C-alpha cells in the first residue's frame, strides 16, 4: 500500500527516499498522535485518513484549529517550537509516517528542495490559520460553506475528489468543533445550504452542483492556499478524467513549492 506512490516533477525520487527514513504505522479513529505539551515531536506525515490539531477550551470542549489531510505534515516545520501548544488527533482510521527530527533536519540542511518544502508547508499552514480566523467572523452558513470549499480544494490537490464532489469522512460534530458551532446548528446549516442548492450530501460524499456559486457565497478565495497556477490547472483536468489516484499523495506537499525560489530577483 505504501508503495503506491504517484509523484510529479523532481521531487519524485526524493519523496520516497525521505519517507523511507521514517516508519509507517496505522492509527485508529480518535487516537492521539501527538499530545499538547510534548517536548519532542517527530516529523509526521499523514498518509491516509483525516486528523486534526486541537486545543481544549472551557469545560473540556475540543476546539479544532486545523484539519490535516493526506500528504500534510501534522506539525509542519512547527517542531522547534516545543512544548507543543496543541494536540494532534486522528479523526478517522488512517496511516502516518513518523520521521525522527534529527534525521530529517540534517537531510534538509543538505537538500534545498526539502527545506523549501518544509518552509512552504509551514507558511501555507499559517495562511490557512489566518483564513480560519477571518472565517470565524462570518455567520454560520458562510462559515460552513467556506470550510467545505477549503476542504474540497485541499482534497482535490492530492487527487481525492474533484470540482464537483469529494468524500468527507467527518461527523457533523467534528465540523462543529472546527467551526465553533454546535452539532445541531451545523446540521441546520447543511439543510440551509441544501435548500439553496449549493451542496448535496450523500452519506459522506459532498456534491457541489455549482462550485463557483458556492465559492462566491462563501467568500472563498483559493489564493490563501497558495497553489501555483499550473497546479491549480491540473486539478480541473484530474477531475474530468476521474482517474483513480491512490492515497499517499505526498506529491502535493513536496512538488508545489518547487516553483518558488529562496530569494526574489
Partner DNA sequence: CGCCCTTTTGATTATGGTCAAACGTTGTGG
Partner DNA sequence: CCACAACGTTTGACCATAATCAAAAGGGCG
Residues of this chain that interact with DNA (CB under 7 A) are 139-141, 143, 171-173, 180-185, 187-188, 190-191, 201, 203
**Number of residues counted as binding its own copies (CB under 8 A):** 50
In angstroms, the CA 219 to CA 13 distance is 38
CB of 101 or CB of 201, closer to DNA: 201
Q: Determine, following the binding rule CB under 8 A, whether residue 58 of this chain makes contact with its own copies.
A: yes
The listed partner (its own copies, DNA, none) that binds 96, CB under 5 to 8 Å by sort, is none
Q: How far is the CB of 263 from its own copies (least distance, A)?
A: 5
CB of 242 or CB of 264, closer to its own copies: 264
Piece in contact with its own copies (CB under 8 A), picked from 21-29, 73-81, 148-156, 244-252: 73-81
The listed partner (its own copies, DNA, none) that binds 101, CB under 5 to 8 Å by sort, is its own copies
Sheet holding 165-167, edge to edge: 165-167, 205-207, 200-202
Alpha-helical segments (H) within the chain: 11-19, 101-110, 112-135, 140-157, 172-179, 183-195, 211-218, 229-241, 250-255
The listed partner (its own copies, DNA, none) that binds 210, CB under 5 to 8 Å by sort, is none
The listed partner (DNA, its own copies, none) that binds 126, CB under 5 to 8 Å by sort, is its own copies
CB of 1 or CB of 40, closer to its own copies: 40
In angstroms, the CA 245 to CA 167 distance is 13
Q: How far is the CB of 184 from DNA (least distance, A)?
A: 4
Residue with cell 506537499: 253
Q: In b/e form, how buried is each residue of 71-93, taking b as 16+ CB within 10 angstroms?
A: bbbbbbbbbeeeebebbbbbbbe
In angstroms, the CA 36 to CA 151 distance is 25
Return the residue of 10, 26, 35, 85 that touches its own copies, per CB under 8 A.
85
Q: Which of positions 87-146 make contact with its own copies (CB under 8 A)?
A: 101-102, 105-106, 109, 119-120, 122-127, 129-134, 136-139, 142
Cα pseudo-dihedral 13, 17, 20, 21, rounded to 10: -150
In angstroms, the CA 157 to CA 37 distance is 31
Decide: helix, strand or coil at residue 57.
Answer: strand
In angstroms, the CA 36 to CA 96 distance is 18
Give the binding site for its own copies (CB under 8 A).
37, 40, 53, 55, 57-58, 61, 63, 65-66, 77-78, 80-81, 83, 85-86, 101-102, 105-106, 109, 119-120, 122-127, 129-134, 136-139, 142, 180, 219, 223-224, 226, 260, 262-264
Amino acid at each position: 500500500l505504501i508503495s503506491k506512490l504517484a509523484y510529479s516533477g523532481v521531487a519524485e525520487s526524493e519523496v520516497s527516499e525521505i519517507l523511507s527514513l521514517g516508519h509507517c504505522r496505522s492509527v485508529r479513529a480518535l487516537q492521539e498522535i501527538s499530545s499538547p505539551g510534548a517536548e519532542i515531536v517527530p516529523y509526521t506525515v499523514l498518509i491516509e485518513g483525516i486528523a486534526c490539531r486541537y486545543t481544549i477550551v472551557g469545560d473540556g470542549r475540543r476546539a479544532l484549529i486545523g484539519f490535516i489531510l493526506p500528504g500534510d505534515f501534522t506539525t509542519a516545520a512547527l517542531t522547534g517550537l516545543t512544548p507543543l501548544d496543541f494536540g494532534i488527533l486522528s479523526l478517522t482510521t488512517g496511516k502516518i509516517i513518523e520521521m525522527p527530527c534529527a534525521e530529517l533536519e540534517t537531510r534538509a540542511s543538505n537538500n534545498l528542495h526539502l527545506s523549501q518544502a518544509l518552509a512552504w508547508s509551514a507558511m501555507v499552514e499559517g495562511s490557512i490559520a489566518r483564513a480560519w480566523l477571518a472565517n470565524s467572523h462570518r455567520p454560520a452558513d458562510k462559515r460552513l460553506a467556506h470550510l467545505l470549499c477549503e476542504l474540497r480544494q485541499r482534497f482535490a490537490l492530492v487527487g481525492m475528489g474533484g470540482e464537483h464532489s469529494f468524500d468527507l469522512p467527518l461527523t457533523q460534530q467534528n465540523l462543529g468543533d472546527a467551526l465553533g458551532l454546535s452539532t445541531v446548528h451545523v446540521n441546520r446549516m447543511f439543510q440551509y445550504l441544501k435548500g439553496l442548492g449549493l451542496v448535496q450530501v450523500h452519506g459522506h460524499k459532498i456534491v457541489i452542483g455549482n462550485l463557483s456559486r458556492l465559492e462566491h457565497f462563501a467568500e472563498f478565495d483559493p489564493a490563501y492556499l497558495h497553489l501555483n497556477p499550473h497546479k491549480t490547472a491540473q486539478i480541473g483536468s484530474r477531475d474530468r478524467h476521474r482517474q483513480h489516484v491512490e492515497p499517499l499523495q505526498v506529491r502535493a506537499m513536496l512538488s508545489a513549492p518547487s516553483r518558488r525560489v529562496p530569494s526574489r530577483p
